Amino acid sequence: MEQFDAWNVGKSGVITAAELEAGMENLNLAKPLTTAEVAKLVEEHDVDHKGGLEFESFLRVQLELQKNGRSPAVSPQKSAFLTTAQFANVHHISASEKRAYVDHINTYLDNDPAMVKYLPIDPTTDDLFNIAKDGVLLCKLINLAVTGTIDERAMNIKDKLNPWERNENHTLCLNSAKAIGCSVVNIGTQDLVEGRPHLVLGLITQIVKVQLLADINLKKTPELAELLDDMEEFEELLRLPAEKLLLRWMNYHLKKAGYTKVVSNYSSDVKDGTAYAMLLHKLAPESCTLEPLSISDPLERAQAVLAQASRIGSSKYLSAKDIVDGSPNLNLAFVAHLFRIRSGLSTDSSKFTFAELIESDDEQDSREERAFRMWINSLGIEYVSSLFEDVRDGWVLLEVLDKVSPGSVNWKGATKPPIKMPFKKLMRYHMFYLLKNLRLKGKEVSEADIVQWANLKVRNVGKTSKMESFKDKSLASGVFFLDLLGAVEPRVVNWNIVTSGLTEEDRKKNAMYIISVARKIGCSIFLLWDDLVEVRPKMILTLAASIMLWSLSSKAKVADASASPEKSPSVKSESAPSSPPTAPASPPPGEDVLPPLDTPSSPPLDPPSSPPVDEPSSPPSAPPPEIAENGHDTPS
């Protein structure tokens, strides 16, 4: 944030093309951009037409520069999130954000048994980043943001964790963060093990944001239907992402209060404190006055605004300097917290009956929308907050297509919206594309192959459970998938807490545990426990395929390590391993061999970089490989 402020010479809250060009001159890039290239870069990332780059857009530009070779090279052993010395100044952490999020942690986790020995955290020290090194804190924050995302029985919680257990916690954390909508493409487990401040704080920022915006939707807060204009369709309000809906709420009250401007962002439009003063007075006239408006000095006015906010218990996250500086993350947090404290919306249920009923008739479609949206966000392309709203112009669809099948999009002709494609087919194609590239030398992988593989794995460890298909109702108990996870990684399942799955409650417990254990070993999955208990075939397929992909991928890495032992780095005492220990040289006869497939893939694929490896009947009892340094848990 300090770098953003330093480059934003005009203090407008956005970095103009001229300011960006001037700032970049000091970086001594190997391939400097021309004035025209800088102007085009700003235009591409200024999606809201603010005349420049807001803070998050500014960071995305830095990433794009690196991907395009415009920045110094980064060691392949490190995260690709701008860790070079020349770009390190872009990632100086914000002391204000650290203070705000430490306060958030101290408030929400103060009674947590696993965290009590660490709290309260001192925001003036680096304790936050040191505590985050074992992964427990970040997992706890994810569960605060979306309750039940992580089954805490799958976490490793004890006084002293070994490198394997620490790595498992971080793998679980990153896969769960993806599942709630966070972007972790440029964060690896090693970044978290080392407690790299800008990456840890960046992840915490996203998690806290998810928590604060969780109720800002019509389903959770039907009173928001009051914001609907007379000429507006209900569905338009329904599809607004939480951040925009929060701005809509803010402007709704400001208009009633007589404020003539429209607040369109959480930075430049609120930095003079006027909008906050009028909003607080409108929401709580008995406690908050308009006295701050008579103060001419911006910093003193901001201090007066926060003094008024404290009267209703809503001065969290922001300092006066943060208001004046236009800190987007902290202003968003402040407004979201104010919404929770004092929304000022009608409590007359007759006004929002329709909002309460909306989407309730098709809960299954709502869950599918969430799964597809989270999957898209995990690909590391443009962030999607509303599946239907954000794909209207077709650009995101093109990015998804090009990601799952590289080279399939002719970008020179990408001017018209493409034909709408079902996300379930894209998601399924992506999974099978990875599987066939890794395992079957370009041959198509069928659903029957996955079922056969899973049954073989379970049978070969002496278990009797099996599945007939992805529609098999016996899968509702969760026993088969727990057997499968235990087969691919024996040490990961705690059988003492596994239930028989005979009752509804036991099935739910098993399903929640399955999802967390799968993420813990490195599977990237987006289904909910309901999908397992209800045996929804499409989501069951993604789970089985993800486990198969992780298992085969990890064995391929073992084979590479066995073939080139000199390339396998030694394990440091305080970090997770870069690759698992050597596996047996060859599998027992007949083990894990899939039938030959005759149908060629379409389009043709290049052979995999390493030969396919048949799996042994029982994998070595070693920790799973960590998520790759590029943030993905599958080989590129």
Q: Which of 112-126, 207-221, 232-246, 403-417 has the highest mean pLDDT?
A: 112-126
Burial label, 293 (beta-carbon count in 10 A; 0-12, 13-18, 19+) = middle
Residue-wise pLDDT for 340-360, tens only, equals: 999 998 765 555 555 444 444
Fold category of 1-68 in CATH? Recoverin; domain 1 (1.10.238)
Which of 558 and 91 is assigned the larger pLDDT?
558
Tens of pLDDT, residues 565-592 = 544 333 333 333 333 333 333 344 334 4
Name which residue leads in pLDDT, 378 or 1: 378
DSSP assignment of 408-423, as one string? -S-GGGTTSPPPP--H
Q: Which residues pair with 600 in a beta bridge?
A: 443
Q: Average pLDDT over the chain, rounded to whole?
A: 76
pLDDT in tens, 237-246: 777 788 889 9
pLDDT digits (tens, 9 = 90+) for 447-464: 888 899 999 999 999 999
**CA 288/CA 281 separation, integer angstroms:** 5
443-560 belongs to CATH 1.20.1560.10: no
Structure tokens belonging to residue 24: 């970049």
Question: At residue 329, does pLDDT exceed 70?
Answer: yes
Among residues 484, 268, 525, 225, the alpha carbon closest in space to that of 375 is found at 525
Q: Is the pLDDT of residue 604 over 70?
A: no
Q: Can you name the residues that pair with 15 across neighbouring β-strands?
A: 53
Please give the Cα distance from 242 to 204 (Å, whole number).
Answer: 18
Over residues 67-82, the mean pLDDT reads 40
Q: Assign 108 a pLDDT band (cuts: 50, 70, 90).
A: very high
CATH fold match for the domains 1-68 and 364-421: no
Burial class (CB in 10 A: 0-12, 13-18, 19+), 389: middle
Residue of 405, 406, 436, 401 whose CA lies nearest to 545: 436
**pLDDT higher than 50, residue 34:** yes
The burial class, CB within 10 Å (0-12 / 13-18 / 19+), for 358 is middle
Looking up tokens 């089954």 gives: 151
Within the chain, how many helices (H) and strands (E) appear? 27, 0
Q: How far apart are CA 79 and CA 83, in angstroms?
A: 7
Residue, of 384 and 44, whose pLDDT is higher: 44
**pTM of the full structure:** 0.63
- The SS3 assignment for 547 reads helix
Average pLDDT rounded to a whole number, residues 371-380: 68
Average pLDDT of the segment spanning 51-60: 75
Residue 283's pLDDT is what? 95
Distance CA 468, CA 584 (A): 30
What confidence category does residue 467 fall into, taking pLDDT thresholds of 50, 70 and 90? very high
Among candidate residues 538, 484, 490, 546, the one with its CA nearest the CA of residue 510: 484
* Digit-coded pLDDT (tens) for 551-571: 888 776 666 666 655 443 333
pLDDT digits (tens, 9 = 90+) for 161-192: 899 999 999 999 999 998 888 888 778 899 99
The highest-level CATH class for domain 364-421 is mainly alpha
Give the Cα separation of 20 and 59 in Å (integer): 12
User: Could you tell me the two tokens for 426?
Assistant: 């894209």
Token pair for 600? 């060629």
Q: What is the pLDDT of residues 516-545, one digit of tens each?
A: 999 998 888 878 888 899 998 888 888 998
Q: List pLDDT tens digits, range 488-526.
A: 999 899 999 999 999 999 999 999 999 999 999 888 887
Query: Mean pLDDT throughout 205-216?
Result: 92
Residue whose structure tokens are 């429209």: 262
pLDDT at 586: 38
Residue 384: pLDDT band with limits 50, 70, 90 = low
Instruction: Report domain 95-213's class.
Output: mainly alpha
Whole-number pLDDT of residue 579: 37
Residues 6+ apart with CB under 8 A from 399: 379, 381, 382
Q: Indicate the domain borders of the chain.
A: 1-68, 95-213, 222-344, 364-421, 443-560
| Residue 631 DSSP one-character state | S
Contact 341, 312 (CB under 8 A): yes
Instruction: Label residue 332 by pLDDT band (50, 70, 90).
Output: very high
Q: Long-range contacts made by residues 318-325, C-beta under 8 angstroms, separation at least 24?
A: 318/100, 319/96, 319/99, 321/96, 322/96, 323/270, 323/271, 323/273, 323/276, 324/271, 324/273, 324/298, 324/299, 325/1, 325/5, 325/271
- Segment 138-146 shows an average pLDDT of 95
- The tokens for 332 are 């968003």
Write the pLDDT tens digit of every residue in 408-432: 776 666 554 444 455 556 666 666 6
Report the distance separating Cα 92 and Cα 519, nearest Å.
31
CA distances from 338 to 254, 284, 316, 332 (A): 14, 11, 9, 10
- The whole-angstrom separation of Cα 292 and Cα 566 is 67
Kindly report the backbone phi and psi dihedral angles of residue 15, in degrees, each rounded to the nearest multiple of 5, phi listed first: -95, 120
The pLDDT score that the predictor gives to residue 588 is 40
**Helix (H/G/I), strand (E/B), else coil: 47:** coil
| Structure tokens that stand for 261 in this block | 């401007």
Spatial distance between the Cα atoms of 93 and 95, rounded to a whole number of angstroms = 6
For position 628, what pLDDT does the model report?
35
Which pLDDT score, from 0 to 100, does residue 561 have? 61
Q: What is the predicted pLDDT for the residue at 75?
A: 34
Residue 480 clears pLDDT 70, i.e. is over it = yes
Under the banding of pLDDT at 50, 70 and 90, the label for residue 386 is low
- Second-level CATH architecture of 222-344: Orthogonal Bundle (1.10)
The percentage of the chain sitting over the pLDDT mark of 90, rounded to a whole number, equals: 41
